[in-house]
Structure 1
Amino acid sequence: MIHDTTKPDVTLPGKSTWNYHPNLPLEDQSLFNLKRGPILGLKVLWNSWLPISDRLIVVGVSFLTWFYLSPSLETARSFAFGWIAGVYLRNLALMVLVAGGMHLYLYTFKRQGNHLRYDARPFHKKNALYKFNSQFLDNVYWSIASGATIWTAYDVLGLWAYANGYAPMLSFSEHPVWCVLWFVLLPIYGVFHFYWIHRLLHWGPIYDKVHSLHHRNVNVGPWSGMSMHPVEHVIYLSSVLIHLVIPSHPIHFIFQLQQKVLLAITSHGGYEAITGGEDSDAGLKVGDFFHQLHHRYFECNYGEPEVPCDKWFGTFHDGTEEATARTRARLKAMRIK
């Protein structure tokens, strides 16, 4: 069911545009909305983490990864095939578990049907635009061949940098407050970084040769999130280079990488939430309609709602038909130039 919040000054999209959408127009969920006031701002931040969120789950996974699935820093002082292969297999397993698990649940077994699915159109098959003539197989190929490999390269270089003193390190015992705060602050920095590198990726020559591969996916699924050109993977994950400047713990480094990868997978899942079935609204929110609008209309919503760069620079799409008209006019003007 589409939530209809019709207001006299906006035109909302109809059923033919979206199978499902959240309440529109999209509200300003920015942590920097001064009109909201500090108390409500803290409430928005709280709700983005608790009582349970995909981001909080990734924090837990990052701790498990560091303590049980990572080489010691002593081992990481020197590059060796054994521990590097272990990191790759760990990352590959996480990617397959999350993306593959979501795809099986939502699209193979169809346990939710089209309930809470943004775009109910099927994925492309027998289409020469994609490798193997299949959107699904194309997405799997780029996610694994390039995504898991470059993710691992960053992981390996980061552990090596911590082990050899090139990345300044914090300990939880000596700096407990900062170590907790980094889990909150790093995603905010990541959103700011994403907006600017995303604008760069939409610059003509880079878009044509690099970012257009990701934008083949107008209707996205779990494997679409990390389906990118290798150059885009390098740029997209480059926010972790901040750890060469700021003191942090390897867990923060692992968390930031896992958040960028695993939440890209879940946010491109095509559904607002993963629930217990077609008749249930209770579940884990994973979808990102804000970014879904970007895949549909391209020249809008380059960032994420937490940092309002799109509002500041006039590229915000709130889901209404008026916003769609403005975006199409801007895209037409850009093509003329």
Structure 2
Amino acid sequence: MVDWTRLGGLPGGQVFGGVETWVDRSKPAGCTSQVQQLGLENTLRQIVTFKYFFYSPNLVWCILAMAVYVAAPYDISAATSWSWSWVLPRLCLNFAVALAYYGFFYFGLYVSHWSSRKFAPDRFPTSGNMAHNLYYWSLGILQWTLLEALMMRLWATGKVPYVTAADIISKPVLLCLNVFWVLAMPVWRDLHFYIAHRFIHIRAVYKYVHSLHHRNSDPEPFSGLTMHPIEHLYYYSNAFFPALYLSGLSPFLFYWCFFHLAIAPACGHSGFEDHFQSDQYHYCHHAKFECNYGSPMSGFIDQWCGTFREKLGESKEYKGEFKEESKGKSSKIWAPESYLGMPKDMYHGIYTVFWASMVPLVALATQHSGQLLGFSIAQLTAGTVAFGPVLLALALCHLSGDKLSWRWPFQKERLLGQFGLFLTLGYLACLLPIYHAVSWSVAAGL
């Protein structure tokens, strides 16, 4: 029997003010244990019963994605030639949709105070914090659009196959394939997030890339997409599978994955416990850092790796090395380092120049063909974009005299074991799709 009250994952049927049934309101926000909600058995049960889709925010996001896509589908025929006339409308659309969603929750939580259970009730962002977050958030929307344009060009030039709505309706096999991926996308998104998130926590990549996202130890909605552009690149790599590699798929699947990527971080980084898609699991990660790399759906992996923390405060489950702040020393200032500014040192400056040069590098490469050092220009460009950020980060860590292990905080894991497994998965899930997408695009003249 369908429980209509739980459709869409609205706690108590409310967007603001409601909490999940497992939350103990007598305890401070974030201090209710999540142990009973997690585990491989619970995850499999969620998947088999489709509760992960219909009784969660995934249903709401899918409906919103379908509505936007029906109103403004990809104009693939226009993408047969590069022109800002079809790119700019996508940028405006993406910016408007994302700003409306993120702005709605920021207004409801931080302006109108429709929710009251804040994880850190004495901390609030300043105007400087918000300027910082909105800047990097906007770069995330821009990169979303550029990668969409790249994929549209691959479809338009025939480098990657796709099927139309008419094809899907006329062929039951294609219909079943596409429905399967619509339903499976949130599960794949969750798995990819865990892999990518652990990958960017490796010391060198964390130092020059992911540390920017962690400036917000007490995040607000726009913090969700406040990332370094290189982190955006690896985070968004999720959208290129299955769209880049499988045939018989509608372009909507690419949009559905990207919509999920762009929208989901908003409420998951809200800083509050009592609203739609509140995420205590991920808030613990921001507050305590060395824990909870996944989400409740992939929590069993954190449990397996010994990186699971069930709540704020004293934890009975956590086996890592994070030490609680001593009493009286916790700051009431909200992310004081989250302000725009110059790179902190010469090495961060070099890294900034490198990532800022990547877009003109790709554009320049499309104007040239031929080979260099035995590799095509397309391969060299793609390798620079996909692998360059990691290799440069490792080199700069070494040159700067960084004293931590290059594998920190996973230095105790076996290289030919748990660490090696996730390093390989990071390569396959994050770096390789970016390499292929850029290589094929440059070869097609973008």
Give the TM-score of the pair, scaled to structure 2. 0.61
Secondary structure (helix, strand or coil) at the match of 2:297 reads coil
Equivalent residues of 1:25, 1:318 under 8 A apart: yes
Paired residues for 1:1-337 under 5 Å: 19-21=28-30, 23-29=32-38, 32-33=40-41, 42-43=48-49, 45-46=50-51, 48-50=52-54, 53-112=56-115, 114-115=116-117, 117-125=118-126, 134-144=128-138, 146-170=139-163, 171-173=167-169, 174=171, 175-242=174-241, 243-247=243-247, 248-274=249-275, 285-307=276-298, 308-319=300-311, 321-323=314-316, 326-329=319-322, 334=408
Shift of 1:222: 0.6
Secondary structure (helix, strand or coil) at the match of 1:148 reads helix
Shift of 1:120: 1.7
Equivalent residues of 1:91, 1:148 under 8 A apart: yes
Shift of 1:110: 1.4
Equivalent residues of 2:32, 2:311 under 8 A apart: no
Give the whole-Å Cα distance in 1 for the aligned partners of 2:290 and 2:92: 36
Give the whole-Å Cα distance in 1 for the aligned partners of 2:168 and 2:31: 39
Higher-Rg member (1/2): 2
Shift of 1:90: 0.6
Counterpart residue type for residue 198 of structure 1: H
Give the TM-score of the pair, scaled to structure 1. 0.79
Give the whole-Å Cα distance in 2 for the aligned partners of 1:316 and 1:134: 33
Equivalent residues of 2:119, 2:271 under 8 A apart: yes
Give the whole-Å Cα distance in 1 for the aligned partners of 2:306 and 2:410: 19
- What is the count of residue pairs matched by the alignment? 302
Equivalent residues of 1:142, 1:228 under 8 A apart: yes
Q: What do residues 51-85 of structure 1 show as CA deviations (whole Å, max 9, x unaligned)?
A: 5x432222122222222223422112222111100
Q: What do residues 261-283 of structure 1 show as CA deviations (whole Å, max 9, x unaligned)?
A: 10111211223343xxxxxxxxx
Shift of 1:303: 1.4
Secondary structure (helix, strand or coil) at the match of 1:111 reads coil
Is the deviation greater in 310-319 or in 257-266? 310-319
Equivalent residues of 1:2, 1:20 under 8 A apart: no
Counterpart residue type for residue 287 of structure 2: R
Shift of 1:294: 0.5
| Equivalent residue number for residue 9 of structure 1 | none
Secondary structure (helix, strand or coil) at the match of 1:134 reads helix
Secondary structure (helix, strand or coil) at the match of 1:326 reads coil
Counterpart residue type for residue 121 of structure 1: D
Counterpart residue type for residue 316 of structure 1: F
Shift of 1:102: 0.9
Shift of 1:330: 8.8
Specify whether residues 103 and 66 from structure 1 end up closer, same or farther in structure 2 by C-alpha distance, changes over 3 A only. same
Specify whether residues 75 and 294 from structure 1 end up closer, same or farther in structure 2 by C-alpha distance, changes over 3 A only. same
